[in-house]
Amino acid sequence: MKLLHTADWHLGRTFYEYDRCREHIHFLTNLKKHIKELDVDVLLIAGDIFDSPNPSADSQKMYYTFLREVTAENSSLQIVIIAGNHDSAARLEAPNPLLEGMNITVRGVVKRTNDDDIDYSHLLIPLFAQGETGKIAAWCMAVPYLRQGDYPQADTYSSYSLGVGKMYKCLYEHLSAYLATIGTDKRSPIIAMGHLQATGSEISADDRSERTIIGGLEAISPDSFSPEITYTALGHLHRAQRVSGRENVRYAGSPFPMSFAEVNNKQGFTLIEIGNKQDIKIAHIEMEPLVKLLSIPHHPSSPSSLPEVFDAIQQLPDGEINANSPYLEIKVKITEPEPSLRFHIEEALKGKSVRLARIVAAVPKNEHELKTAVYEELQTINPMDMATDIFRHRFGGEEMPDEMKKLLQTVIQELAV
């Protein structure tokens, strides 16, 4: 059985006001090609299909066109989709009556039974291998991004991380009990899906855009996923990676860089092959992005002086700007306000085949430290970090109590969704 794991498409996302529709179409075209060539049985999409809970008509058209075309080209392909924190769970599930006829299952909402218990059965999806019609080859625990109230309480003062951990534990126990009742002779492979931040995972340097939704207090332990689970397909973090050294617990990563902090990530998707004896082979398939990201300086940890920036601009490729021209980030060190900075940089870029995305001006905060001054930087500040810094400043360096952090994070999370 072959499964392809992808996540974090963020359809509709712009890049410093540049439309990325062509990049998404390029990715989806390559994804369809690999599904066909690899003869994939199941496609797993682990959340954040859209960049906004209210996606544009063009973004939705791109999504549904892909689903129609990929299922038409691969008649036995099964697709399982879960909602991420950027998606509207209800909107994503709304077309289910139509999609189920195309062998597509979407899970965004955690449903309740008449007794107000979690309907675990709704989150368990049977998977079928091609050529074995009617025979269940594996099971998928399709858990969408969980919000407050979606998960069982681990204790009276349950934290988010404990609640999510208990969700996976209860779901696995529910599936095990069901398999026992039907007298399964051989344990079927089990695939888990989730949209969350796992402890031991790496976030791209200086990229805090995803941490504003799930901070360190909400990181989920990989121990939440039973060792009996064959593979865990995660979404939320944009860097493809194993989690805490566990080969079979992975993020597929985003299809292409969503920020300059992700420029060194290895974008693509993950192929999982499960053999007859549940031997498993996992390979990350890299995909070259359609549009490259460039930075001045090349290693942007230390901003360049203005003369150095102009020298580096001269080394950029000449030509007309087109839809495939690289995006450019410039980090420049200045000692005083420069009202005409952008004008001079744009003049220097004339005749260069690059698209200026942003300029980050770094001014001296003191003799040992630089402070960046750009609006986009402010948008990525983690509210929890800001709150703890203010608390520390007002109370003589004291750290904010853990209980207060938990309460504040609950409020932040509710506001974010």
**pLDDT value at residue 381:** 59
E strand or H helix that includes residue 4:
strand 2-6
- CB contact at 8 A, 197 and 237: yes
Q: What is the pLDDT of residues 185-224, one digit of tens each?
A: 457 899 999 999 888 777 665 555 555 444 455 688 888 8
25 band by pLDDT with thresholds 50, 70 and 90? very high
- CB contact at 8 A, 92 and 108: yes
Average pLDDT over residues 172-178: 90
Q: What is the pLDDT of residues 259-313, one digit of tens each?
A: 888 888 888 999 999 987 678 999 999 998 999 999 998 765 678 888 889 999 9
Q: Which amino acid is at 233?
A: A
Most confident option among 69-73, 199-203, 356-360, 391-395: 69-73
DSSP 8-state symbol, 269: E
**pLDDT value at residue 215:** 46
Q: Which amino acid is at 98?
A: L
- For residue 215, count CB atoms less than 10 angstroms from its CB and return exposed for 0-12, middle for 13-18, buried for 19 or more: buried
d(CA 72, CA 67): 8
d(CA 40, CA 77): 7
378 band by pLDDT with thresholds 50, 70 and 90? very low
